[in-house]
Amino acid sequence: MKKLLFFLLVLTFYTPLLFSQTIYVNHAATGSNDGSSWQNAYQNLTTALTAAHANTAISQIWVAKGTYYPSTTNNRDHFFNIRRNNLQVYGGFAGTETDLTQRNAVVHPTILSGNIGSTASNSDNSYHIMVIELNPSNPQSIDNSLVIDGFTFSEGNANAGSVFNSLYPRYTGSSIFISCNFNSINITPLIRNCIFADNRAFSSGALTYYGISAGSNALSIEQCTFQNNYAGYSGAAIDIMQLDAAGYGVPGVFSVAVEKCSFLGNAVDNYSQGGANGGVGAGINTFGQGTLRVNNTTFINNTIGPSTSFAGTYKGTAVSVRNGGNTTIVNSLAYANNNYIPFYNIQSTLTFVNTSVYNPGSSALDLNNPVANNIYNSILWTDNSTANIIAVSNGSPTINIENSILNATRQGSITGSNIITTNPAFTNPASGDFSLQPGSPAINSGNGTLYNNSIYGNGDLEGNHRIAQTSIDIGAYESNSTALPVMFGVLSAAIRNAQLLVNWSTESEVNNDHFDIEISADGKQFKTITTVKSKALNGNSVTSINYIFNSSISGWYVLQMGTLSLLLLALTAPLRRKKVIVLLFIIGAASILSCSKGDTPATDKQSRLYLRIAQIDKDGKKEYSKTVTVVNQ
């Protein structure tokens, strides 16, 4: 009976793995230039992208070091165009690698440059370096399986007020413009290990999101650096727009996750439009309904300028949230050497969790009729004893503060408990060291229940254990802590085309042995479904390593998520229970598979599965990643 069940299971659910193919790009390649190998690589990325759109079996594009331009004819409206899912585009290769783990994008930068035309001038540069969009003639969901990883985007210049071809505004998204093209369909790529430097926009955005995020999908921006970008209105580095709220009439909201990023010296002013609301969000600006989570990220010396002669708001050099969004800032740090206020909340919800904000001369946060503002386990500090650490420019907001350190001078009505008003004793603010001196009132003064490990991860801003000694500390850094043995980077999981796909990366590994992939139907009780060995040499690595687990069991696409969880239980349950569950699973699957061809597959997008990764040291110690929802596609 056991053998029969196993046979049935294999017979019913085995289908071959999807064929996948990698093509290569190297501007210096001298072979046949058909993209088939490094030797025969395409010489430009545009050709490779055209090939990948003609042939969906192409799943990866590897691009060697060097500089690539979106136009060979100096046409400012040309851009690298991506309109499909299930594609990973990697830069940062020397041009000899055979495995992704051999890549070092820092040593071998692949630059996507908007500096076409005269190299001495930016006025003739590309309006957009890359456009990721839903295909206007056949829009279909794009999710985190579209990966842009390991590129430097520089010198895009979206400096005009017009719109090209009714779809591409020449005033925003100078590096990457992500657009749903007026369709209420999910578009949430993953942008990872990229640098955005010296890009400019008339209105907003080195990276601009005119997109819809459906279900648990989120535009993910991870381990990226945004440096010296400029915009004449809002969101110099990242601008996020809910199209419905902006008058485009496209229903849907945004969901964006920014993790382990740096925002350095970005600037915004009110040059393009004037009026009261410009000059906001030099790091990130959101407009309208949606969710933004910023994790383990630094905002340093972002500012207003160069022109401040236009009337404007001039707030939110780190982040501004406008018109209804819900933003959470976690394990992050913002400090400035100017007096512009780093955070600005207009009619939105903003929550700080274990975040440190230091503005020596002025306020940390300005509130303009906020929906809500919560400050948990966080430090907001100024050295100016007469400045309001929280300023209210409009309305009579209530601010909920728990276990946090703030100057005593502030506006708004305060609720909450355990509010400390003594100096947090940063180690050395002048040199950018915002860890805590011994004896700091922040040490062990946080409330652990305000910190959600499974969403925020278990590392502080430094990559040390988030909780050490008796309790979690207040602020972005945990004192007396030790380094995490594995610093997790990205983690995403999806069921797609009859396969369970899990992608994760590590930024560093120490003495790591293996990973267990664990899955749960309720987010509480987890089962291990497989084990993956560390790729790091002897379990140690200081560079990022990517891991992919791709289940070979197919047929799941016709199943409800609940049935899938039965299968997963079956894979892990004791033998007797396993027989029963496998039988139930097969009966359920067979009944669904027996549907006529015209029936819609019985997927249930409301059901949830949760996934996390346990990392096990060579000495048996275990640490967990954050938990993600398995996206059913």
Kindly list the residues in this chain that would bind Ca ion in the complex (CB under 5 A).
115, 117-118, 121, 124-125, 444, 468-469, 473
Element (H, E) at 52: helix 45-54
Which tokens belong to 11?
A: 């017979």
Q: Among all residues, whose Cβ is closest to Ca ion?
A: 117
For the CB of residue 450, give the shortest distance to Ca ion in the complex, in Å.
14
Least Å from the CB of residue 481 to Ca ion: 7
Cβ-Cβ contacts under 8 Å for 331 (sequence gap 6 or more) = 295, 296, 353, 354, 355, 456, 457, 459, 460, 461, 466, 476
Contact 179, 142 (CB under 8 A): no
Minimum distance from residue 478 beta carbon to Ca ion (Å): 6
Asked if 613 and 515 touch (Cβ cutoff 8 Å), the reply is yes
- Compare residues 468 and 592 and give the one whose CB is closer to Ca ion: 468
* Other C-beta atoms lying within 10 Å of the C-beta of residue 385: 8
**Which CB atom, from 125 or from 440, has the smaller least distance to Ca ion?**
125
* Helix orientation angle between 561-572 and 575-593, rounded to the nearest 10 degrees: 150
Q: What is the DSSP letter of 425?
A: -
Nearer to Ca ion, 125 or 141 (CB): 125
CB of 462 to Ca ion, least distance (A): 13
For residue 128, the minimal CB distance to Ca ion (Å) is: 14
How many C-alpha atoms does 88 have within 13 Å on its Cβ side? 17
* Least distance in angstroms from the C-beta of 159 to Ca ion: 12
- Please answer whether residues 451 and 469 qualify as being in contact, where contact means their C-beta atoms are separated by less than 8 angstroms: no
**Minimum Å distance from CB 26 to Ca ion?**
24
Phi-psi region of 237 (alpha: psi -120 to 50; beta: other; left: phi over 0): alpha
Check if the beta carbon of residue 364 is closer than 8 Å to that of residue 332.
no
Q: Tell me the closest approach of the beta carbon of residue 200 to Ca ion, in angstroms.
A: 12
- Specify the 3-state DSSP secondary structure of 489: strand
Question: Smallest Cα–Cα separation from 186: which of 139, 245, 118?
Answer: 139
387 vs 442 by CB, closer to Ca ion: 442
Q: How far is the CB of 259 from Ca ion (least distance, A)?
A: 23
Closer Cβ to Ca ion, 117 or 305, answer by number: 117
- As measured in angstroms, the least distance from the Cβ of 230 to Ca ion is 16
CA distance 244 to 509: 44
Phi, psi torsion values for 341, nearest 5 degrees: -75, 125
The nearer residue to Ca ion, 125 or 326, going by C-beta atoms, is: 125
What span, in angstroms and rounded, lies between the C-alpha atoms of 564 and 111?
43
- How far apart are CB 122 and Ca ion at their closest, in Å? 6
Q: How many Cβ atoms are within 10 Å of 6's Cβ, its own excluded?
A: 11
If the CB atoms of residues 35 and 446 are measured against Ca ion, the closer one turns out to be: 446
Which is closer to Ca ion, CB of 484 or CB of 502? Answer: 484
Distance between CA 443 and CA 457 in Å, rounded?
20
Q: What is the sign of the dihedral through the CA atoms of 449, 455, 457 and 460?
A: negative
Whichever of 125 and 199 has its CB closer to Ca ion, that residue is 125
Q: CB–CB of 189/84 below 8 Å?
A: no
